[in-house]
Structure 1
Amino acid sequence: MGDAESVFHYCRTKQAQDPNFYYEIFLDKDSRMVNFFWVDSRARLCYERFGDVVVFDTTYKTNKYCMPLALFVGVNNHLQSILFGFALLQDETEESFEWLFRTWLDAMNGKAPITILTDQDKAIGNMVKKVFSTTTHRLCLWHIMKKFPEKYGNLYKKKSPFKKDIKACLYQSITIEEFEREWNAIMTRYNLAGETWLQQIYEIRNFWIPVYNRTVFSAGMSTTQRVESMHSFFDSFVHSGTTLREFIAKYEQALMRRYMDENREHYASKHMHPVPKGRPPIAEHAAIVYTRNIFNKFENEVEESNRFTKKKLEKSGFDYTYLVSHNLDPNQKFRVSINTSSRDASCECHLFEFKGILCRHILAIFQKKDVQQIPHKYILPRWTKEAADDIPVPIMVEKDKSSLMHTMHFHRKANLLLSCLHECDGAYQLIMDAMDKAYEEVSKLKNSTKEVNEVEESGLDAPHIPIADPQVSKTKGRTKVRPEEVSSNGRLKGGFEVGMDLAKKQKRKCGICHELGHYSTTCKKGLDS
């Protein structure tokens, strides 16, 4: 059985076991695999809860056929990266991306994300616009920023005025008008108005500059860095000679380990994270509703709110406007509007719209107005402890670890029942009856396992068109490392180092006139003599 046939058999088996397992295989006219997409039922359920923001990436390209691995990645309520689907593509053309996006959207029941983050790629951009017409498309900020030292190594140095100014302009501009003003001032100050690359990234500024996207929910993400962690995840079991058959087998085992990490964090948030005492009431309320990782973010905002002073600017009935200013940094000034009756609040920083938790500036006003709990409208369900309660725990591949986790869960539940045993009349008999019924149902399940397996296997040998293995792809995939990007000891250089090295090369002087921009072989003085 060939690679493609093995993949097809795997998918049919999985779908027989789980009808919500979804896959599509695109074939060419010779019945050769071209593109392959799959997503399990748990990922589809997770998308229902956490599919508001998706990171899409195709830079991973480590397998026998050099086919780029396309990943749809999101973030769960514990700030962990989660997978919403995979695909192996023959090429990275608009046609392939359109097929993939429409297939993925169909798998997700037509629900498009609010925001999708990608690298800067024309084919991807065109198809995002075509298929996800209502979705906000954003480009990875980190990938654009890392090009500054490569292109302007002379200016973009450590602690250089240009680096300080450009970062302040990009990251600290509160309004679009402020950004435009500062950007134009920088272009004039450093004589960069005619620079082609800067003009190109300025023309697409609404796709990557923070101030243009702060009002659209992005779960706090401005980059595709979450996908980089997934690359490391795949590197642990994939190499350049990995066949599709091996990839599928190892991927499932590795995915189960990630699911175990999610389950461990879910359990810790619900049962091992006590509500902190001595905190402000609004922080104690946050500890009750939020997962522990989100609570840590919220608590930091609460603590930082104490560093701000509040000045009332306007009042009309229940509507107030305040200027919230940092005690030590006069540049940190934000207008906060609040209605004390409805508790509607908004801030110029737009942290809630962007990340989904209240900012320190609104919390400073809430503290002034003695708001002791987070208003319900400002608690996003996706960040709460209960967000994933109805998503089933998959059967773990690693039996020893899963058995330990199941035993721990069982003991804690049993202890809870034991504590209730004598608290009220009839509790003992109710618990015993429930345990007898549970034992009876488990016995039936155990006896029917063999029959279920036989049903699952039925139909798998139905006739089908033989599928040929894919051809070796020639797409760009993960960028190859250039020699100048590796240091003498084998360490990968950062963008700044690469830029500085290139700048040094460009500084070579003519051996005759000692001026920049040419060599002795092309020197006019040398030719004249």
Structure 2
Amino acid sequence: MFRDCMLGDYEVRTFQRKWFEIVEKFGVADKRWVQDMYERRHSWATTHIRGKFFAEFRTTSRCEGLHAVISRYVKSRYSYTEFLRHFHRCLMFVRAKEVEADFECAKGDPVMTTNLKQLERSAAENYTRAIFYLFVPILDRACAMRVVDSEDNGSYFIHTVSRYGTPGKDWRVVATSDTREVRCTCMRMECFGVPCEHIIVVLVLNNVHEISWSLILPRWTKDAKLVAVQSMGMIWDSVQLTQHWCLMDWYRKV
């Protein structure tokens, strides 16, 4: 029940009702830990962190993953000089992985696998390969969504979206008449920077074939490192820069 409160995508009133139901059921209202957790609910409850950008990181997994990489190169018994030498090897590995990721984005196109191929192709053209693969399941989930009601307020529309076979759970998507600006009450776009399935189904309803720039976070695109100014004053685009990095990496190995 606590996990449901923590991860559930609820409105504030619904979260409060569920929280006090748990407290009453288990008789823990006087427990200091429970009181402290409720006071800090803005730090851990999905209800209260919606709309805050955290790139979908909510655990220590990123930090633990970095520790695992470093531990392959650095040991506690190393002296200062040994630490610097092996830590430099770790940095070279991380930079090489970044070069490989940039190279993957620059060459070829991923295979289209969803039924919303035009939107999927638009995402493939703009997003990095890693973000694109995170976006594909959202397109799949959008196929199970449907717009059950639409309200015209003149300059914008309010669409009520529901998941097929799950009555009683609705989301509201506000969109301008030209769908240039679209926002959803789930606020996943604001949290992660990628459109949610509720926004996608509204785009499909309006026969939109490309994801508008208002729904694309620049940091997730291939052009995030479009221009790099080198020390000699040269300016290269991302493809040339990636090729240069690959050549330099191979040169170091040789």
The bucket for the TM-score relative to the shorter chain is: 0.7 to 0.9
Q: Distance in 2 between matches of 1:283 and 1:332?
A: 26
Which of the pair has more CA radius of gyration?
A: 1
Q: Distance in 2 between matches of 1:226 and 1:348?
A: 28
Which residue among 301, 310, 319 is the counterpart of 2:147?
310
Letter in 1 for 2:57: M
Q: Deviations over 1:223-244 (max 9, x none)?
A: 2210101111121122222222
Letter in 2 for 1:236: R
Residue 340 (1) aligns with residue 188 (2):
no
Q: Distance in 2 between matches of 1:312 and 1:344?
A: 19
Letter in 1 for 2:219: R
Calculate percent identity across the aligned residue pairs: 26
Q: Distance in 2 between matches of 1:173 and 1:274?
A: 32
Q: Distance in 1 between matches of 2:222 and 2:111?
A: 13
Residues 346 and 362, structure 1, Cα contact 8 Å, conserved in 2: yes
Q: Distance in 2 between matches of 1:317 and 1:323?
A: 17
Q: Distance in 1 between matches of 2:94 and 2:212?
A: 34
Query: Structure 1 residue 211: deviation in Å?
Result: 1.8
Q: Deviations over 1:67-91 (max 9, x none)?
A: xxxxxxxxxxxxxxxxxxxxxxxxx
Letter in 1 for 2:118: P
Residues 176 and 212, structure 1, Cα contact 8 Å, conserved in 2: yes
Residue 329 (1) aligns with residue 177 (2):
no
Query: Structure 1 residue 276: deviation in Å?
Result: 3.1
Secondary structure of the equivalent of 2:223? Answer: coil
- 1:123-138 counterparts in 2 under 5 A? none
Residue 299 (1) aligns with residue 136 (2):
yes
Letter in 1 for 2:22: I
Which residue among 72, 83, 87 is the counterpart of 1:247?
83
Q: Over aligned residues, Cα RMSD in angstroms?
A: 2.4
Question: 2:95 maps to what in 1?
Answer: 259
- 1:72-471 counterparts in 2 under 5 A? 165-274=1-110, 276=112, 279-330=116-167, 332-341=169-178, 343-390=180-227, 402-403=250-251
Q: Distance in 2 between matches of 1:245 and 1:328?
A: 62
- The structure-2 alpha-carbon separation of the partners of 1:173 and 1:187, relative to structure 1 and needing over 3 Å to count, comes to farther
Residues 381 and 387, structure 1, Cα contact 8 Å, conserved in 2: yes
Residues 6 and 44, structure 2, Cα contact 8 Å, conserved in 1: no
Q: Distance in 2 between matches of 1:266 and 1:201?
A: 42
Secondary structure of the equivalent of 1:354? Answer: helix
TM-score (norm 1): 0.42
Q: Distance in 1 between matches of 2:203 and 2:179?
A: 12
Q: Deviations over 1:385-405 (max 9, x none)?
A: 121244567x99xx8x62399
Q: Distance in 2 between matches of 1:239 and 1:387?
A: 35
Query: Structure 1 residue 305: deviation in Å?
Result: 0.7
Q: Distance in 2 between matches of 1:240 and 1:404?
A: 28
TM-score (norm 2): 0.85
Q: Distance in 1 between matches of 2:142 and 2:61?
A: 29
Residues 312 and 323, structure 1, Cα contact 8 Å, conserved in 2: yes
Question: 1:57 maps to what in 2?
Answer: none
Residues 139 and 197, structure 2, Cα contact 8 Å, conserved in 1: yes
Q: Distance in 2 between matches of 1:266 and 1:234?
A: 22
Question: 1:480 maps to what in 2?
Answer: none
Question: 1:44 maps to what in 2?
Answer: none
Residues 180 and 214, structure 2, Cα contact 8 Å, conserved in 1: no
Q: Distance in 1 between matches of 2:138 and 2:110?
A: 19
Letter in 1 for 2:56: G
Residues 275 and 287, structure 1, Cα contact 8 Å, conserved in 2: no
Residues 270 and 291, structure 1, Cα contact 8 Å, conserved in 2: no
Question: How many residue pairs get matched?
Answer: 238
RCO comparison, higher one (Cα < 8 Å, 6+): 1
Q: Distance in 2 between matches of 1:290 and 1:224?
A: 25
Residues 275 and 284, structure 1, Cα contact 8 Å, conserved in 2: no
Structure 2 gap ranges (5+): 229-240
Secondary structure of the equivalent of 1:335? Answer: strand
Q: Distance in 2 between matches of 1:210 and 1:244?
A: 43
- The structure-2 alpha-carbon separation of the partners of 1:247 and 1:298, relative to structure 1 and needing over 3 Å to count, comes to same
Residues 5 and 45, structure 2, Cα contact 8 Å, conserved in 1: no
Structure 1 gap ranges (5+): 1-164, 407-529
Q: Distance in 2 between matches of 1:274 and 1:226?
A: 26
